[in-house]
Structure 1
Amino acid sequence: MSQIESVELEEIFLEYEVLAAQVDKLFQDVQSKYPEEVACTRTCSDCCHALFDLSLVEAMAVNRAFHEKFGFGAERSKIMERAGDADRTLTRLKYQYFRNAQCGMSDADIMEKAAHEKVRCPLLGDDDLCMLYEHRPLTCRIYGVPTAIKGKGHVCGKCRFDKGGKYPTLQLDRIQDKLAGLSHKITKAIGSGYKDLHSVYVPVSMALMNKYDEEYLGVKQDGKPKKKLKSPLE
């Protein structure tokens, strides 16, 4: 079954596109003021190996854009094969982090360890260019300029911002809050039976492989579940 479509969902995805355009503008503003510090180039793929997950709205947007561009053929099959490989690697890494936590490693140390891991994005082509660039996630759009989340700053190691210097900083908490809000709107718009669906985050690899159909999304009909629901979180 294909991804669910509705007028209300289209409006939510339009809101997401507006947010993406705003993020692009913020990046461009910083880049224009600090052209020497922002080291991003067309073929730099450092951010294409970073570990991060997508909110529901982003995952569904990437999924639909992928299926629209790569309906059938060898290119699609190659991407899906890479997605499977990446997802197996990520599953192994996440299990390691779970074990680290059980052994007493702090969340901060686990996050620091994860920040140094590199897993190639399945959408990164052989020419080191993104195969879905116009529809890339927000994390990819802001990589390369100073960011902060929960008060802790971060910047790409390849960029040339002076450590401790004062620069315009993108507040990731606010962006994540907006994405969470859009994801929550989706669960309400489709009448999902999964109360925590909007809290499900997945890597790009899983976003490509998932089928965002009625079964996955827990869509109800006439106020009743189609069948006994099991949350993707379980």
Structure 2
Amino acid sequence: MQINPQLEHDYLSLQGTVDQWFSRCVEAGGEMLACRAGCGSCCRGLFDITLLDAFLLKRAFAKLPETIRETVLFRCRLRLNELQQRWPGLGQPLLLNGLPEREWTEMPEDDETPCPLLGEEGVCLVYSARPLICRLHGLPNVDCSGEDFEGTVCTLHKGDPETLPTDILRAEFREIFAKEVVILRQFARELTGQDTAELDTFIPLALLADYNTVDWRAVVWSRQLAEKSP
């Protein structure tokens, strides 16, 4: 489960840029904003993450104490059983691509099942390695140009985040997302030999996947999953 060191550096740098934006918004918003480390209210349901995020997540997860990992994996197996009833062809390496896209990009919004990585006190067990989507969630993703990338805004805020000063709320999101695509495409090309930026999974699936035994260049995964799915 190796990642090109330069690619990893570039991606972590991108995450850092997003973290800086989020932190300055939280600092400026004060009590008006609900989002902050330790709040797990939005860490519910299923949402897709990239395979690169999954690799980084698994590496951090492997460093947790065994007892904690077993508890988390038990929750993940329950989720996997649910998903395999819905998609019988879902197997290792537990990627979503090739399944009907609308079915996994529009998962039920009323699913209140906590993320398996939430600890007993509602704190993420691998917070420093959380996926990019988790870092973006809760505040509007408005580019410096004014273009709105429609980030998911937390409903627990006491006020409207868009009342924050423009120079604090807005960031170079167009550039951030463009860089993300370049990084993901290079990651997929080096891993699979395929020219794609679309390799996605869910957090419970990522933690159960056995990436080390996969011959990533042997199979076109999206085609394999499509053939197995009803």
TM-score by length of 2: 0.72
Offset at 1:114?
3.0
Counterpart-to-counterpart distance in 2, 1:13 and 1:154? 26
The equivalent position to 1:126 in structure 2, one of 120, 125, 132, is 120
**Deviation at 1:42?**
4.5
The CA deviation at 1:147 is 2.9
Q: Residues 41, 21 of structure 1: CA spacing in aligned structure 2 closer, same or farther, 3 A cutoff?
A: closer
**What letter matches 2:77 in structure 1?**
G
> Aligned-residue CA RMSD in angstroms?
3.2
Query: How many angstroms apart in 2 are the aligned matches of 1:203 and 1:31?
Result: 27
Structure 1 runs not aligned, ≥5 long: 96-101, 219-228
Instruction: State the distance in 2 between where 1:173 and 1:159 align.
Output: 25
Partners of 2:154 and 2:204 in 1: how far apart?
Answer: 22
- Is the 1:49–1:120 Cα contact (8 Å) retained in structure 2? yes
Q: What amino acid is aligned across from residue 82 of structure 1 in structure 2?
A: R
Partners of 2:189 and 2:195 within 8 A in 1: no
* Residues 25-52 of structure 1: per-residue CA shift (max 9 Å, x gap): 0001211222132112554211211432
Q: What are the equivalent positions in structure 2 for 1:1-234 lying under 5 Å apart?
A: 3-4=1-2, 9-67=4-62, 69-70=63-64, 73-90=66-83, 111=106, 114-147=108-141, 151-152=149-150, 154-162=152-160, 168-169=169-170, 175-190=176-191, 192-196=192-196, 198-213=197-212, 215-218=214-217, 229-233=218-222, 234=224
- The structural deviation recorded for 1:141 is 1.9
- Distance in 2, Cα, partners of 1:208 & 1:94: 18
* Equivalent pairs, count: 202
Corresponding residue number in structure 2 for 1:221:
none
Q: Gaps (5+ residues) in structure 2?
A: 89-99, 225-230
**Residues 38 and 144 of structure 1 are in contact (CA less than 8 Å); yes or no, is this contact kept in structure 2?**
no
